[in-house]
Structure 1
Amino acid sequence: MATVRFSGVNKAYGTTSVVSDLDLELPDGSFTVLVGPSGCGKSTSLRMLAGLETVTSGTITIGDRDVTHLQPRDRDIAMVFQNYALYPHLTVAENIAFPLRATKTPRREALARAATIAESLGLAKLLARKPKDLSGGQQQRVAIGRAIIREPSVFLFDEPLSNLDAKLRVETRTELLQIQRRLGITSVYVTHDQEEAMTLSDRMIVMRDGRIAQQGTPQEVYSRPADTFVATFVGSPKMNLLEGVLSAGNFTLSNGFALPVDADGAQGPVTLGVRPDDLLPTAAAADSAARVALIEHLGPRAIVTLDVGGTELTSVVETARLTGITEGTAVDLAVRAGACHLFDTVTGRRVAG
């Protein structure tokens, strides 16, 4: 196990900057997720840590070793890829044992160790199968087993679950987290899926345009987004953002619609952020400017799309609260107490709430 540090790391291809001034410390034994949209620099950062991309400037250390210019094989890391990268001609046991065989470990010893790891991954009955005879989830567990057998200082995961269907992704995610907790090995995981990032990470790094937009625990990032980008990227459905003016406990949109809010005395032009779970519709008189445009039922909850004088808002409510509310219904809107997020309209940076 080891602490990982990026110190002033930059990566550029010619004049195109991909990662800029990356300063990051990943504590020993932590599970850190790099998340962001395509092209934000998260995969490049992981590949620089792995030694698969050269660093333009800056340093990367693992424990007390500067690994910036070391070959991947000399960094004491193990990487799990999106496409599993299993050897099709080898059995499950042989695939898991391969890293030990590559270091001249006797075959019997390597296969015995592989069998022990396979047992912990629920693969004990599949040791003689070839990759083509496995499901996607089973192949991914074999790839994880192959990484575990090396007992590296750091695990690296490059969107390893993206090829799985939704149900299997959730199951494998749980297994992966349990494995990491049991082994306590420092892990760095890259994904574009913010839900995956929220559920897996001890520490969540949101990236944008090659820089860190925000870092913290998943709850910190979710409850106090640093700017409007993070606010809308983290959370599903995404946060409602509205431009308007705060005055005397009301937030007034440009179309004149007034929304009562608890904004701790803030005044003036501002961008108001409200999570869909915190926007509360109730049936109202027919002259209300807010109307229900669409209701999507999700069992105990529903996603309600609202039209507020041409502005679209999203609310997530318990189905039991939909009494008297149907598509086309006029509604009043309220914001849950203490649930306002305020951002500077020009810079997008958080100012309060």
Structure 2
Amino acid sequence: MATVRFSGVNKAYGTTSVVSDLDLELPDGSFTVLVGPSGCGKSTSLRMLAGLETVTSGSITIGARDVTHLQPRDRDIAMVFQNYALYPHLTVAENIAFPLRATKTPRREALTRAATIAESLGLAKLLDRKPKDLSGGQQQRVAIGRAIIREPSVFLFDEPLSNLDAKLRVETRTELLQIQRRLGITSVYVTHDQEEAMTLSDRMVVMRDGRIAQQGTPQEVYARPADTFVAAFVGSPKMNLIDGAVSGTTFTVGDGFALTVDQTAAGGPVTLGVRPDDLLPTVSDGDGAARVILIEHLGPRAIVTIDARGTELTSVVETSRLSGITEGTPVDLAVRPGATHFFDPATGSRLSG
């Protein structure tokens, strides 16, 4: 196990900067997820840590060792890829044991250790099968087992679940987290799926345009997004972001509608952020400030899309509280107390709390 540090790391292809001034510390034994949209630099950062991409400037350390210019095989890391990369002619046991065989470990010893790891991954009955006879989830577990058997200082995961269907993705995600907790090995995981990032990580690093937009625990990032980019990216459905002006506890949108909000921002133009769970529609006694245009039922909850005089908003409502609210219903809107976020409309940076 080891602490990982990126110190002033930059990566450029010619004049094109891909990662800029990356300063990041990943504590020993932690599970850190790098998350962001395509092209944000998360995979490049992981590949620099793995030694698959060269560092333009800056340094990377694993424990006390500077690994910036070491070959991948000398970094004491194990990597699990999106495409599994299993050897089709080898059995499950042989695939898991392969890293040991490559270091001249006796065959019987390597296969014995592979069998122990396979049992912990629920693969004990599949040891003699070839990859073509396995499901996607089983193949991914074999790839994870092959990484575990090396007992590395750091695990690296490059979108390992993206090829699985939704049910298998959730199941494998749970298994992966349990394995990491049991082994306590420092892990770095890359994904574009913010839900996956929030579920897996001890520490969540949101990246944008090659830089860190925000880092912290998933709860911190969700509760106090640093800017409108993070606010819109983290959370599903995404946060409502509304341009308007605040005066005291009243937020207004031009000649549109008004909301009562917490008095936590100076007066004047602001971007108001409200999570869908915190936007509360009720049936209006009159024409109302808004109208329901779509309801998507999701069992105990429903996603309600609302037209507030030209501004489209999203609310998540418990099904039991939908009484009287149907598509076309005029509604009044309120914000749950303590649930407002204010951002600078010019820079997008957080203003409050």
RMSD value over aligned CA atoms?
0.7
Match of 2:37 in 1: 37
Match of 2:172 in 1: 172
Gaps in structure 1 of 5+ consecutive residues: none
Give the drift of 1:287. Answer: 1.8
Match of 1:65 in 2: 65
Distance 1:248 1:42 in 2: 41
State whether residues 79 and 156 of structure 1, in contact with CA within 8 Å, keep that contact through their aligned partners in structure 2.
yes
Q: Please list the CA deviations of residues 102-152 of structure 1 after superposition, one character each: whole Å capped at 9, or x if unmatched.
A: 000000000000000000000000000000000000000000000000000
Distance 1:210 1:132 in 2: 38
State whether residues 263 and 340 of structure 1, in contact with CA within 8 Å, keep that contact through their aligned partners in structure 2.
no
Q: Does 1:277 pair with 2:277?
A: yes
Match of 2:17 in 1: 17
Match of 1:344 in 2: 344
> What aligned pairs does 1:176-195 form with structure 2 within 5 A after superposition?
176-195=176-195
Aligned partner letter, 1:82: Q
Aligned partner letter, 1:292: V
CA 1:288–1:127 in 2, change beyond 3 Å: closer, same or farther? same
Distance 1:308 1:251 in 2: 13
Match of 1:115 in 2: 115
Match of 1:234 in 2: 234
Give the drift of 1:294. Answer: 0.3
Match of 1:55 in 2: 55
Q: SS of the counterpart of 1:350?
A: coil
Q: Please list the CA deviations of residues 302-325 of structure 1 after superposition, one character each: whole Å capped at 9, or x if unmatched.
A: 000000011100000101111111
State whether residues 203 and 216 of structure 2, in contact with CA within 8 Å, keep that contact through their aligned partners in structure 1.
yes
Distance 2:172 2:141 in 1: 8
> Comparing 235-244 with 257-266, which one deviates more in the overlay?
257-266
Match of 2:244 in 1: 244
> What aligned pairs does 1:288-299 form with structure 2 within 5 A after superposition?
288-299=288-299
Distance 1:323 1:263 in 2: 31
Q: SS of the counterpart of 2:246?
A: strand
Give the drift of 1:288. Answer: 1.5
Give the drift of 1:289. Answer: 2.7
Give the drift of 1:265. Answer: 6.0
> What aligned pairs does 1:72-87 form with structure 2 within 5 A after superposition?
72-87=72-87
Give the drift of 1:263. Answer: 2.7
Match of 2:124 in 1: 124
Aligned partner letter, 1:187: S
Aligned partner letter, 2:231: A
Match of 2:104 in 1: 104
Distance 2:69 2:256 in 1: 59
Distance 1:345 1:102 in 2: 57
Q: SS of the counterpart of 2:351?
A: strand
State whether residues 263 and 338 of structure 1, in contact with CA within 8 Å, keep that contact through their aligned partners in structure 2.
no
State whether residues 256 and 308 of structure 2, in contact with CA within 8 Å, keep that contact through their aligned partners in structure 1.
no
Distance 2:325 2:271 in 1: 28
Give the drift of 1:14. Answer: 0.2
Aligned partner letter, 1:120: S
Aligned partner letter, 1:285: D
Distance 1:119 1:165 in 2: 24
Aligned partner letter, 1:349: S
| Identical amino acids, percent of aligned pairs | 88
User: What TM-score results when the alignment is normalised by the length of structure 1?
Assistant: 0.99
Distance 2:92 2:266 in 1: 61
Aligned partner letter, 1:132: K
Q: Please list the CA deviations of residues 216-250 of structure 1 after superposition, one character each: whole Å capped at 9, or x if unmatched.
A: 00000000000000000000000000011111311
Distance 2:349 2:187 in 1: 30
Match of 2:303 in 1: 303
State whether residues 302 and 319 of structure 2, in contact with CA within 8 Å, keep that contact through their aligned partners in structure 1.
yes
Q: Does 1:322 pair with 2:343?
A: no
Q: Please list the CA deviations of residues 190-236 of structure 1 after superposition, one character each: whole Å capped at 9, or x if unmatched.
A: 00000000000000000000000000000000000000000000000
Aligned partner letter, 2:7: S
Distance 1:248 1:303 in 2: 30
Distance 1:293 1:263 in 2: 30
Aligned residues: 353
Distance 1:256 1:127 in 2: 65
Q: Please list the CA deviations of residues 51-88 of structure 1 after superposition, one character each: whole Å capped at 9, or x if unmatched.
A: 00000000000000000000000000000000000000
